[in-house]
Chains A and B, each alone.
Chain A
Amino acid sequence: MNIGITLLWQTLAFAIFVWFCMKYVWPPLLAAIEERQKKIADGLADADRAAKDLELAQAKATDQLKEAKASANEIIESANKRKAQIVDEAKAEADAERAKIIAQGHAEIEAERNRVKEELRKQVASLAIQGAEKILERSIDPDAHSDIVEKLVAEI
């Protein structure tokens, strides 16, 4: 257990080992570790950012979806309104048309009736004249007695 020269040799070896470790072992190892730590930290930060981005994108998509739904509803509503309007308009137009047609019909009927009336009157007049001719057994000069005939016609 005696202390001797071994101690000094050993101290020298110790010094050399420490020097070597400091020069050739420690720096590259620590550099590699720190580099990797940075890489991992960057990767984690990227992942965080990506997650946040995703969240944002999802929120945005939801918003847009909501907006799209709202605008679709709006469009449908306005289409409905427009449809009702068109239907009303068409109804009004049809009513007007019908009224017009009916009125025209009435007018035509009236005209026809008048014409027929006139015709009848004339025929009745001529019948009356023929009857009178027969009664009188002589012909009446239509021209000479037109005033009588006309009076007759007007009375019918």
Chain B
Amino acid sequence: MAASGEALTPQGYIQHHLTNLTAGEGIWTWHVDSLFFSVGLGVLFLWVFRSVAKKATTGVPGKLQCFVEMIVEFVDNSVKETFHGKNALIAPLALTIFVWIFLMNFMDMIPVDWLPELAMAMGVPYLKVVPSTDLNITFSLALGVFLLIIYYSIKVKGVSGFAKELTLQPFNHKAMIPVNLLLESVTLIAKPISLALRLFGNLYAGELIFILIALMYGTNLALSALGVTLHLGWLIFHILVITLQAFIFMMLTIVYLSMAHEDH
């Protein structure tokens, strides 16, 4: 139910939910809520995992350690299956991406009104709870991956090797260099963009549907009952979506970095 003054109409309600808490103007705009939640979740992830890692026993593990180890092993296996080089960064990177994105996506499962209403009560006018519905966040992750792709491409193949890869494929002929460059650049740029937009699109759509379902609660009893059913169904389905999206982001990161390491 929309309790804010401006959000009495459905449009206003949706609009309110999709507005970030901002500070600053134009390009210098800080999305305070996205940063707060994403960094907070990142710190939570690192804190939990670090505390488990510090106490990690080789004997019989506790339940939390088991859980953490399951995730770590799952990520480790995924990395080992896909990435055949030797690189100490890839696996921790994949773990960070997987868990962090999962946690950010998980914010989607919290009923859409809880945290914004709470913030409203504390005098914060806008609050967008799910960081991965913010393009800034998804693009920042993709940007990090993109920079690593470029870094490792140059590190493994050298500048000339990387340049050759960009210019002499797929048509190995001097006259085709511009065409190759165009094609390869698009391929290269498409990687981070597809990463960012896929995550953003899925979560944004999911969040929007949660908001639409939440709209039904404000009307009458029958619609509210239907809303509860829909909410439950979408929530259960969304458990799959958020995990899958985190997994896809992680897998593609591994694949891209593995490709960056391959010398043709």
Contact = CB atoms under 8 A, between A and B. Distances in A.
B57 interface: yes
B139 interface: yes
Q: For the side of the interface on A, what is the size category?
A: 20 to 34
A11 B136 CA distance: 9
5 contacts: A10-B137, A13-B39, A17-B100, A24-B46, A36-B58
Task: State the 5 A-B residue pairs at the shortest beta-carbon distance, nearest first.
Answer: A10-B140, A32-B56, A22-B92, A6-B136, A35-B58
Interface string B45-71: 110011011101111010001001100
Looking at chain A's contact residues, the main secondary structure is: helix
A22 B88 contact: yes
A128 interface: no
Contacts of A22: 88-89, 92-93
Nearest to A19: B92
Interface string A26-61: 111111110110010000000000000000000000
A33 B69 contact: yes
A5 interface: yes
Interface of B: 24, 26-31, 34-35, 38-39, 42, 45-46, 49-50, 52-54, 56-59, 61, 65, 68-69, 72-73, 76, 88-89, 91-93, 95-96, 100, 134-137, 139-141, 143-144
A1 B39 CA distance: 19
Contacts, number: 129
B46 A4 contact: no
A75 B229 CA distance: 89
Interface in A70-102: none
Given A5-B24, A30-B76, A32-B58, A21 B49 contact: yes
A135 interface: no
Nearest to B137: A10
Interface of A: 1-11, 13-15, 17-18, 20-22, 24-33, 35-36, 39
A29 to B, nearest CB: 5
Given A6-B35, A7-B139, A10-B35, A29 B144 contact: no
Nearest to B31: A6
B144 A32 contact: no
Contacts of A5: 24, 27-30
Contacts of A30: 72, 76, 91
A4 B136 CA distance: 7
A20 B135 CA distance: 24
B236 to A, nearest CB: 28
Nearest to A5: B28
A97 B143 CA distance: 123
Contact of B68 (A6, A29, A36): A29
A3 B138 CA distance: 11
Contact of A26 (B27, B31, B65, B92): B92
Nearest to B145: A14
Contact of A4 (B29, B59, B69): B29
Nearest to B38: A10
B257 to A, nearest CB: 12
Contacts of A7: 136-137, 139-140, 143
A13 B30 contact: no
A31 B65 CA distance: 13
A1 B135 contact: yes
A3 B92 contact: no
Contacts of B100: 14, 17
A35 B69 CA distance: 12
B211 to A, nearest CB: 15
A31 B28 CA distance: 43
A39 B95 CA distance: 25
Nearest to A36: B58
B58 A13 contact: no
Contact of B50 (A13, A24, A33, A36): A24
Contacts of B92: 18, 21-22, 25-26
